[in-house]
A and B are shown apart, each in its own frame.
Chain A
Amino acid sequence: NAGVTQTPKFRVLKTGQSMTLLCAQDMNHEYMYWYRQDPGMGLRLIHYSVGEGTTAKGEVPDGYNVSRLKKQNFLLGLESAAPSQTSVYFCASSYRGLAGGPDTQYFGPGTRLTVL
């Protein structure tokens, strides 16, 4: 049981390049999330998904796209990377808890992305 994994762990891009971050979970969780963490800002929600085939915008969605074609995978795409997207990206997943409440969010180890 690997939990939540993220690929890659580190990446350096040039401005304008594109890339996809992959998040995978083997816990059969319904909910999946993408966050970014910047110094002094805490974690901010980019996009999230409450089930296979569904996605929704979070707090800072601009410049990112996501897809959830399979329940266990949640992809985060940057079509044209900008230096402002330099950050650490975290994926998380959770069950939909009883009575609609949240179960614990399990986090991946993070991806450090630098855009030059």
Chain B
Amino acid sequence: AQTVTQSQPEMSVQEAETVTLSCTYDTSESDYYLFWYKQPPSRQMILVIRQEAYKQQNATENRFSVNFQKAAKSFSLKISDSQLGDAAMYFCAYYSGANSKLTFGKGITLSVRP
């Protein structure tokens, strides 16, 4: 079974600074996808970014980018120019191409200091 580990329960960043959220996963599969989801206090789950395992290029979405290290099974999220609205819980997730399941990490709470 796949596992997703987010070892840091909380992080804090100064507004306008950059922060990196770490995530590692364990799998023996070759066909998989990785995601970062954001959950603000409203509880709504919002997709931040996705990465296909077969792509070597790191995904980027505006201020959000990932550092995908396939051999190390690491998938970190970098948030540049942090904004107050980025404060939320962030979940790393692994999607198995073999069984169509999405496995989530336990999440990290990000606070942004004004």
Do the beta carbons of A109 and B50 come within 8 Å of each other? no
B101 part of interface (Cβ distance < 8 Å) = yes
What separation, in Å, do the CA atoms of A43 and B95 have in the docked complex?
Answer: 13
Of the 9-residue stretches A19-27, A72-80, A98-106, which lies at the interface with chain B?
A: A98-106
Q: Which residues of chain B (28-62) have a CB below 8 Å from chain A?
A: 31, 33, 42-45, 47, 50, 52
Shortest distance from the beta carbon of A3 to any chain B beta carbon, whole Å? 10
Question: Which chain A residues border B47 with CB–CB below 8 Å?
Answer: 104-105
Q: Which of A74-110 contact B (CB under 8 A)?
A: 88, 90, 92, 100-102, 104-105, 107, 109-110
The answer to whether the Cβ of B84 comes within 8 Å of any Cβ in the partner chain is no
Identity of the chain A residue whose Cβ is nearest the Cβ of B33 in the assembled complex: A102
- The secondary-structure label for the interface of chain B is loop
**Chain A residues with Cβ under 8 A from B106's Cβ?**
40-42
A90 to B97, CA, bound (A): 22
Chain A: interface residue total (CB-CB under 8 A): 24
Q: How far is the CA of A47 from the CA of B48 in the complex (A)?
A: 24
- Among B44, B97, B104, which residue has its beta carbon within 8 angstroms of that of A42? B104
A31/B100 in contact, CB under 8 A: yes
Q: Determine if A101 and B52 form an interchain contact, defined as CB atoms under 8 angstroms apart.
A: yes
Question: B residues within 8 A CB of A41?
Answer: 106
Interface size on B, as a range, is 20 to 34
- Check A107 against B44 for contact (C-beta < 8 Å): yes
From A88, which residue of chain B is reached at the shortest CB distance?
Answer: B43
Do A45 and B43 form a contact, CB below 8 Å, given A100-B97, A101-B97?
A: no
Q: Which residues of A contact B (CB under 8 A)?
A: 31, 33, 35, 40-45, 48, 50, 58-59, 88, 90, 92, 100-102, 104-105, 107, 109-110
Q: A40-B106, A107-B45 are in contact. List 20 more A-B contacts (CB 8 A).
A: A35-B104, A42-B4, A42-B91, A42-B106, A42-B107, A43-B104, A44-B104, A45-B102, A48-B100, A50-B100, A58-B101, A101-B31, A101-B33, A101-B97, A102-B33, A102-B97, A107-B44, A109-B43, A109-B44, A110-B43
Chain B residues near A (Cβ < 8 Å) = 4, 6, 9, 31, 33, 42-45, 47, 50, 52, 91, 95, 97, 100-107
